[in-house]
Each structure stands twice: as structure tokens, then as C-alpha cells.
Amino acid sequence: MQGDRERLMRERRRIAAGREDDFSVNDMTQIAETMSETTTVLTGLLGAVAAVSLLVGGIGIMNIMLVSVTERTREIGIRLAMGALKSQVLTQFLVEATVLALFGGIVGILLGLGLAYVAGLYLALPFVTSPAIIVVAFAFSALIGMAFGYFPARQAAGLNPIEALRHE
């Protein structure tokens, strides 16, 4: 099939036998396969960068919450001594970690949309957003906050009220 195209082009361009072609014939299936492979590799790389970013962000949330628990040990001890349940203390710190992650998610979503808009203007591409993707990103942000905030929240809920009240 491709040989027929090349023969026809040589004939139309009057290229003598033995001379090099002054044209090239590209098969669109080859181009489509190459584009598909490139897209797959770039998607994998982007996923890896996103996973590392989420891990680093989650560790940051965990560290912030651990510092918060350490600084508020007396407050936690007072709450527990006054009759607060461990589940209430756990919930309080889980909510704090989730809110912290959601604020980070909002900033990240807005920054991403802004950069995509600017890139679209610069590259003369249309700027199209997907509300479903934004909702998924927001939900994933909350999930990361809960997952990485669980350990500090559990640590806060497990404090002994008497020892917590003695903490300086």
C-alpha cells in the first residue's frame, strides 16, 4: 500500500530511477501510535510527580499536627479531665488536619487553574475546565488530610489527662 503511494509520487514528480525521493510518506497510524506512547509516558511521569507531592504534603500536615498536639498538651489534658471523650479529641484533631489540607487543596486548585489559563493563552490553546476533576482534587485533598492527620489525632486522644496537665 505504501509502496503504491511512493511509486505514484515518484511518477508525478518525475523522479528518475535510482535518484533519491524529494518527498516523504508518513503513515498516520505510526504518528498516532507515537503520540499515544508519548502521552502514556507523560501521564505516568505526571502521576509520579503528583504522588510525590501528595506524600510530601501529607508529611507536612502530619508534622504540623504533631507540633500542634505537643504545644496544646495542657489544653488536651484539661479537656480530657473535664470529661471529653477520646473520640471527641480524635475528631477535633482530624477535623483540624482535614481543614488544613482543604485550604492547601484550594490554593493548589486555584494555582493550577491559573497556570493552565496562562499556559493556554501563551500556547494559543483553549482553556477548558472539568468541574468533576476539581471536585475529585478537593476530595482527595480532604482524604490526604484525614489519612496523615490520623496519627497525631490518635496521639492526642491517647494522652493521659494527669500527665498532660503536668506538661510544661
CA angle 62, 108, 135 (to 5 degrees): 95
Mean pLDDT of 68-84: 93
Tens-place pLDDT, residues 77-86: 999 999 999 9
Q: Is the pLDDT of residue 30 over 90?
A: no
Q: Helices then strands (H, E): number in the chain?
A: 6, 0
Tens-place pLDDT, residues 109-153: 999 999 999 999 998 889 889 999 999 999 999 999 999 999 999
User: Minimal CA–CA distance to 152: which of 106, 102, 98?
Assistant: 98
* End-to-end alpha carbon distance in the chain: 84
Contact in structure between 142 and 101 (CB atoms under 8 Å): yes
Q: What percentage of the chain exceeds 70 in pLDDT?
A: 98
Sign of the Cα torsion 10, 13, 17, 21 reads negative
89: three-class secondary structure by DSSP? helix
Contact in structure between 109 and 137 (CB atoms under 8 Å): yes
Sign of the Cα torsion 31, 115, 112, 61 reads positive
pLDDT at site 7:
78
Tens-place pLDDT, residues 1-15: 557 777 787 778 777
pTM higher than 0.85 for the full model? no
For the chain, the domains span 1-52, 72-168
User: Minimal CA–CA distance to 86: which of 168, 159, 6?
Assistant: 159
